[in-house]
Structure 1
Amino acid sequence: MSAHFQEPEATKVEHGTNNGLTNGDGNDKFTLGKFCIDEARPIKVIVIGAGYSGTDLHTQFRYLQRVPNMTLTIYEAEQSVGGTWLVNKYPGLKCDIPSHCYQLTFEENPNWSSFYASGPEIRAYLEAVVDKYKLMPYIRTQHRMTKARYSEPDGKWIITIRRPVEPNSNETATQFEEFEDICDVLFTGMGDLSRWNWPEIPGLKEFQGKVIHSARWETGEGGPDAAWEDTVHSWGNKRVGVIGVGSSAIQIVPAIQPKVARVVNYVRGKTWISSIFVQEPLIKLSGRKDAENYDFTEEDKQRFQDPVYYKKFRRELESGLNDAHAATIRGNPLQDIAKAAFKEIMVQRLAKKPWIADHIIPDFGVACRRLTPGPGYLEALCEDNVDFVPSPIKTITPTGIETEDGDHKELDVIVCATGFDTSWRLPFIGRNGTNLSDKFASQPKSYLSIAIDGFPNWFQALGPNSGVGAGSLLLLMERQVDYAVAATLKLQRERLKSIEVKSEAVDDFDEYLMVSNPQTVFGEKCRSWYKAGKEEGRVSALWPGSPLHAAMALKHPRWEDFNYERLDSRIRNRLHWFGDGNTVADKTPGSDKTWYLSDDEIDYPPSKYTGRVIRVVN
């Protein structure tokens, strides 16, 4: 089934003769456009994904808030909103930064239950945001984008969407239908940790027990929406192998250790297990130096109702997170301090099995791999029913896992906490039939992480080099959205067919990355998804600077870094968008013709400037 695009009448007017074009006899005779300068042309925007609102929910809200005369549709592949916090249901799932730092700048939540929120609570927050701003009418769940193709003749994106044939069916359905939708602007917020990978281990498909990926914790027990506790309630006599030592495995192992007969953690690399992020406020709240989390009391939540107190509390937390960026720079004394402190903590926590320290404490810098606090992980490794296996896996047999040292362990369940596909090789076809997968075959390259040459009118959040190694990721995502909305407004306001980043601007950003990254610990030798799972090479996941640096870089778009096409190539005058010399207010009887004096238009100087004497120089 296909949707057929029909050009709006308001746009067709601009394509007629005597509308700022040549007069038809070969002579350039400019005439005014038949529209007001602020008469917004119709524009269609499609958003892919309804995950965290630093990307998608924030995108929807800002587009609806700022872009007039717009049609908006959001396609979400899953059954509901929430993104990674909907899909991930694995044991021990929590955010690894404080709850009050993991929320939108404009939508504060004073009612978080704990200092570090659980996955279900974060998902509930996102759902509350959708409800508050009435976004659900724009969202189409269980609609998965399978392809996006740019149509050069009309400057449109043609999006192929797959959905279940039967209403209310889920992604396990066997029958699907596809249809096409068309838009002027495409915004994607699919995230860099949304496409998970099965490990390439011989024999995985032959294993006769349960095989689960951490990013899809569905065992068939309790249904796809069951809490992880429901899926492991019968595992009391099970032997569970957990492959990996990333942030997911570090949370899963201590969560299931008391609930199963045996846990075998297969670890091929080393990693730093840090102390809790922003520890001082946690110690102050809990009164304990060894606190790993803290449940807010009713008294705490009551204090958070005071806007002044709450804002001070939140800003202190985020300031502490942002301060951590300095420690990611090579040569910074904070690196040596962090190494010594974390090593001491890890050795202490591994006191019952001190030999593990030799296999897990790294030589590389702190934060070369994603830094995870991992409350309880090292302690769990020391329990009697946990085996730590540093020998590489040779093969998976029908009954267990055999490692290269010849050891074979019988298992009932294998959990693959083995990461994600961060290659950004997505099903996009751009100008001249350019396939994004081919373009990114050697390495992903973008402009400021949000635009790609050869792919006009497409903007993204959490594209290549949009992650952060320290600080607030949501700040960066919100600024990416603001940038995309500003570009959409320019496209609409100036009646443009396309806006496309210049290839030389992409190359300049890439050159900056190549010089910047080796100066950080992220460029050191360590296996990390920051480098697409490689030990060495290009850092493709992180912004080349702090989150504050990213926010400033994205605040004022450099429009000179883009190429443009007009809606009609016959238009020669770049100021055709001025229209007929009027605003809508000029031509509307009874309208507000002093709108520039309204409070939301006037930029009032702060009172500290009012007493200053201004000297006029002739």
Structure 2
Amino acid sequence: MDRVLNIISPKRGSGTDGHSKVDPNLQTTGTESVPVEGSGSERVDRDHDTQKEDIPFNLGSFSIDEYRPLKVVIIGAGFSGITAGIRFRQYIPNIQMTIYEKNEDVGGTWWSNRYPGLACDIPSHCYQLTFEAKTDWSAFYAPGPEILSYMRSVVSKYKLHQHLHLQHELVYARWDSPTSQWHIRLKRPSPNSETGFEEIEDKADFLFSGMGGLSRWSWPDIKGLDKYKGVLYHSAQWDVMEGQSWQDTVKDWGEKTVGVIGVGSSGIQIVPALQSRVKHLYNYVRGKTWLSPPFASDKMSELLKGDPGSENYIFTDEDKQRFQDPETYKAFRHDLEDSLNSVHSSTLRGSEMQNAAKKAFKENMIKRLEKKPWIADHLIPEFGVACRRLTPGPGYLEALCSDNVDFVPTHIKRITTDGIELIDGTTHALDILICATGYDTTYQYPFPIIGLNNTHLSTKWSPHPQTYLSVCVDEFPNFFFALGPNSGVGSGSLLALIERQVEFAVEVVGKMGRERLGSVVVKREAVEDYDEYIEHYFPTSVYSERCRSWYKMGKEEGRVVGLWPGSCLHAIRALQHPRWEDFDYTRIDKTRNRLYWLGDGSTWNEKTMTGDRAWYLGDGHVDYPPVPGD
């Protein structure tokens, strides 16, 4: 029986891969509803204080496996929203689901970002869903448009468009206790409105956020930016016409002088992409950063032609053909992710692997900068490897050594009408200025999300966000998220973590449907305990060292809000088995009997004489114990 849908659950994944389809023996079309209980704020663990004789008990008219109807609204159609759309529909009977996306298409950050050189910064075969394999990536670090194409194919295959509403931006969300629902408002284009937009309202029994932490970009705080008269770009706002690529937007830049501000992952990708396409390029760098050597493993060397450790290894036709063999592909991907999941100790302060990484990375960077060795003094950090987001940066250091590129470590004083003035008085005239300066990673959303007791999430998450296992927050019932605070990974597959965060939310909704709950909200003390764990974990890691990073909301020191407090595998294990005792609940029915969900004493198949009435003997349901050996 499925781990989400089974009323009497066996151990997780028993007899299956843990991703079986909705059990056909469960009733999934019922529309029975029950009255709302009072204000919706009373907790079931206090029901024993109520005089039960004052409230008559009514036997439910539903079967035990007849889930109550639930409406789920998903915000965002990036990887988190797409995965949620697939899993909620797969596992939750009697569900009504809507996905709202503010952009014109799916893809999230991979739709919004179109800057030159945009590519994956971990091996492409590890940056895909576990259940939807793509074997024909063009490169080891696949370009952004290819990743977006993959996401579109997943949406199409799983027919999510019927649930999807594009160009619908969330602008307001409020929890309503009397109805145990979220009341939301969304902005969408309207040709009949004077402003070009209109607002609509919707309601949800459960609100799932897939907005992510890298979706709200902002201009850098540099004096004079608004006075600049040249062409101005932000890496997160690169206009590319439909059917074109970033190469089309820069085809006439051959005689242009370009400035790129930043040495984060975007700047590191933009510089080599533009170096051969412009007359001259200045890269303005305020801080230092590590660049990792190209990724390689034994399995790669066995399977791939050429040198798999070379810059952005391009898969040959022979490689792609070999990957069509399921076992070959499976072994290759498994080896990659096994390798990615074997470097966690390198993120721990003073560890042998961290010290070895610093030595190897430094030697690699110095070698690649041998034409301009002075750059190493300004670029190679003293802080630990991975304190800032680590990127392989194919071609970046080589581009800095080109004759038409100037690496500028001197700080910017101001931006003028025609270029940049440095603090030493030097000026550079620029035709084009590109700000590769990142995102707002404070998790302060530009619209109100209001929970119990009129609590605003922006207030709740000030001066820094606090959550429970990075998936929910107290005082906000029926509100769960993926890629929220402390959801990034320093090593390993981010998508593997996203899938587990989604599955955690699916389990919560499954419990609501089975047990006819009105609300599920994490206890404050559970949030405080997780917060205490975070505060004690990160000082053991390199992430708390002095370096400016989006992991710390763009600061050099302070609270780490961008990363999970542990390894990727640690996160997966932590989310594997929900601790239901860490939550408070309300029921949707009037009766005070906590076992009202037992219904009328029957299962749906018995009542309707349909389906399999011996399903517990079927594949995936019988748990065969191992026979002890000698």
Partner-residue secondary structure (3-state), 2:343: helix
Of residues 464, 488, 511 in structure 2, which corresponds to 1:490? 511
Of residues 27, 31, 50 in structure 1, which corresponds to 2:54? 27
Q: Deviations over 1:154-200 (max 9, x none)?
A: 11111111111149x9xxx9510110110000001111111112101
Matched residue, 1:201:
222
Matched residue, 1:265:
283
Indicate how the Cα distance of structure 1 residues 495 and 25 shifts in structure 2: closer, same or farther if over 3 A, else same: closer
| Shift in Å, 1:226 | 3.2
Q: Deviations over 1:465-492 (max 9, x none)?
A: 0100011111111000000000001111
Partner-residue secondary structure (3-state), 2:543: helix
Contact 2:70/2:205 (8 A) holds in 1: yes
Matched residue, 1:37:
64
Pairing 1:534–2:555 present:
yes
| Shift in Å, 1:409 | 0.5
Percent of aligned pairs sharing the same letter: 56
Distance 1:25 1:101 in 2: 55
Distance 1:276 1:101 in 2: 15
Indicate how the Cα distance of structure 1 residues 253 and 63 shifts in structure 2: closer, same or farther if over 3 A, else same: same
Matched residue, 1:223:
241
Pairing 1:388–2:407 present:
yes
Contact 2:32/2:62 (8 A) holds in 1: no
Q: How is 1:43-442 mapped onto 2 (pairs within 5 angstroms)?
A: 43-52=70-79, 55-166=80-191, 175-218=196-239, 223=241, 226-278=244-296, 280-282=298-300, 285-288=304-307, 291-426=310-445, 427=447, 428-442=449-463
Q: Deviations over 1:208-254 (max 9, x none)?
A: 01111101112xxx636631111111111111110000000000001
| Shift in Å, 1:611 | 7.0
| Shift in Å, 1:360 | 0.6
| Shift in Å, 1:207 | 0.5
Of residues 462, 472, 486 in structure 2, which corresponds to 1:451? 472
Distance 2:144 2:91 in 1: 31
Q: Deviations over 1:308-335 (max 9, x none)?
A: 2211111000011111211111121111
| Shift in Å, 1:590 | 4.2
Higher RCO (C-alpha 8 Å, min separation 6) = 2
Q: Which runs of 4+ in 1 moved over 4 A?
A: 13-16, 21-26, 279-284, 610-613
Contact 2:101/2:166 (8 A) holds in 1: yes
Contact 1:460/1:480 (8 A) holds in 2: yes
- The amino acid that maps onto 2:527 is V
Indicate how the Cα distance of structure 1 residues 25 and 158 shifts in structure 2: closer, same or farther if over 3 A, else same: closer
Distance 1:331 1:24 in 2: 60
| Shift in Å, 1:387 | 1.1
Partner-residue secondary structure (3-state), 2:518: strand
Partner-residue secondary structure (3-state), 1:323: coil
Contact 1:245/1:267 (8 A) holds in 2: yes
Distance 2:272 2:476 in 1: 45
| Shift in Å, 1:604 | 4.5
| Shift in Å, 1:14 | 7.6
Contact 2:297/2:339 (8 A) holds in 1: no
Matched residue, 1:5:
none
Indicate how the Cα distance of structure 1 residues 376 and 174 shifts in structure 2: closer, same or farther if over 3 A, else same: farther
Partner-residue secondary structure (3-state), 1:73: strand
Pairing 1:576–2:596 present:
yes
Matched residue, 2:492:
471
Distance 2:352 2:72 in 1: 48
Distance 1:580 1:15 in 2: 20
Task: State TM-score, norm by structure 1.
Answer: 0.92
Contact 1:41/1:69 (8 A) holds in 2: yes
Q: Deviations over 1:280-314 (max 9, x none)?
A: 55555243376112222232222212222211111
Indicate how the Cα distance of structure 1 residues 110 and 446 shifts in structure 2: closer, same or farther if over 3 A, else same: same
Partner-residue secondary structure (3-state), 1:10: coil
Indicate how the Cα distance of structure 1 residues 152 and 27 shifts in structure 2: closer, same or farther if over 3 A, else same: closer
Indicate how the Cα distance of structure 1 residues 207 and 602 shifts in structure 2: closer, same or farther if over 3 A, else same: same
Partner-residue secondary structure (3-state), 1:112: coil
Distance 2:101 2:514 in 1: 29
| Shift in Å, 1:26 | 6.0
Matched residue, 1:4:
none
Partner-residue secondary structure (3-state), 2:341: helix
Partner-residue secondary structure (3-state), 2:33: helix
RMSD: 2.3
Indicate how the Cα distance of structure 1 residues 290 and 25 shifts in structure 2: closer, same or farther if over 3 A, else same: closer
Contact 2:548/2:555 (8 A) holds in 1: yes
Any stretches of 5+ residues in structure 2 without a counterpart? 1-29, 39-46
Contact 1:464/1:540 (8 A) holds in 2: yes
Contact 1:14/1:34 (8 A) holds in 2: no
- The amino acid that maps onto 1:509 is Y
Indicate how the Cα distance of structure 1 residues 269 and 224 shifts in structure 2: closer, same or farther if over 3 A, else same: farther
Distance 2:222 2:243 in 1: 29
Contact 2:31/2:69 (8 A) holds in 1: no
Indicate how the Cα distance of structure 1 residues 255 and 158 shifts in structure 2: closer, same or farther if over 3 A, else same: same
| Shift in Å, 1:398 | 0.5
Indicate how the Cα distance of structure 1 residues 411 and 25 shifts in structure 2: closer, same or farther if over 3 A, else same: closer
| Shift in Å, 1:424 | 1.0
Q: How is 1:476-555 mapped onto 2 (pairs within 5 angstroms)?
A: 476-555=497-576
